[in-house]
Amino acid sequence: MKTNNLFDSEIQSVPMGGEQAFRFSGVSRRTAFLSHYHRDQFQGLRNWGFPCQLGEGLHWNTFDNCLYWVDIRRYRIHQFDPQTQVHQYRTFDESVCWVVHSAKGDMVAGFASGIYQVEFSSGDRVAIAKPPEPISNRLNDASVDPSGCLWFGTMDDRELQPTGKLYRMASMSQRPQVVDDGYVVSNGPVITADGSTMYHNSTLERTVYQFKLDSHGMPITKEVFAQFDDAMGCPDGMVMDADGGLWVAQWGGHGIVRFLADGTIDRHVELPVPQVTNVCFGGPNLDKLFVTTAYQGLSLQQRLKYPQAGCLFELNVGVKGLPATPFNC
């Protein structure tokens, strides 16, 4: 494997407010417990390396056919071209939590303090929005829906208080709007291809929520889609595939599960690491499933037991993903 050591906020290779949250009158309990599942017999697990303390925020950019992700605790944005196998990263001065790209091809990243437009080659960044969050909160996970709206969550960085929120931001020029709250750790907003349904995780509650969206893309109902049991760990990042399957990373669960639209599990992929954080389809044909992991929270003994913890994995799972929609300018 080739690496290209170029540049640290040099590249290295190896005030806007939100609106009031919508209040849901009740949460319907449609729970799928995960004690029994079919273990997936897939072919083609590849470990690319690039270990991260807390790898997250995977994004396949169709503008340059590169994979992007972050190491939240080490303040880094990573870039990887699987075709040339060139990897590089840039280090910033605060936690960076996710990356997407705008309709103009510009990088947009969520930092602990807010959302910025970023020039990866220079490290320059310009603030786009700074949600009015408690000082102990930070941004955590994000995705763009089919209409180009950005959805992102916040969380208590100490993982103690339910101060996290879920936001929707219609474009780079508009204010983020709060659409739900009460999260300790929010994760994985992802929207179906037809824009009718959104999934979002309350990680410490081990709960995947399903929101039905109206014709304007706003939530109208909220219910429990899946409740993880202890053996499955906690739900983390998610991605939809082209067949409507929902892939969910298992923090503390050593793998990934795929849900059908009715909430049942039809596949489980086991990985050689416990802390699985995020998933994303990529490659020119969107037929590769990339997976970030973490070594955060592991003892020295556990790190010796799981030497691949924190690495980037690539899998062939036999289904394709959906192209990422750029964030509206």
Whole-number CA gyration radius for the chain: 18
- Comparing CA positions, the residue from 321, 329, 314 lying closest to residue 83 is 314
Calculate the CA dihedral of residues 118, 312, 203, 229 and round it to 10 degrees.
170
Q: Please tell me the distance from the alpha carbon of residue 258 to that of residue 239, in angstroms, as a whole number.
A: 9
Q: Please tell me the distance from the alpha carbon of residue 248 to that of residue 278, in angstroms, as a whole number.
A: 8
Query: What value, to the nearest 5°, has the Cα angle with vertex 129 and ends 325 and 220?
Result: 60
Q: Choose, from 194, 236, 243, 266, the residue flagged as catalytic.
A: 236
- Comparing CA positions, the residue from 84, 77, 67 lying closest to residue 8 is 77
Catalytic annotation present for 8:
no
Q: Please tell me the distance from the alpha carbon of residue 169 to that of residue 163, in angstroms, as a whole number.
A: 19
Active site residues: 236
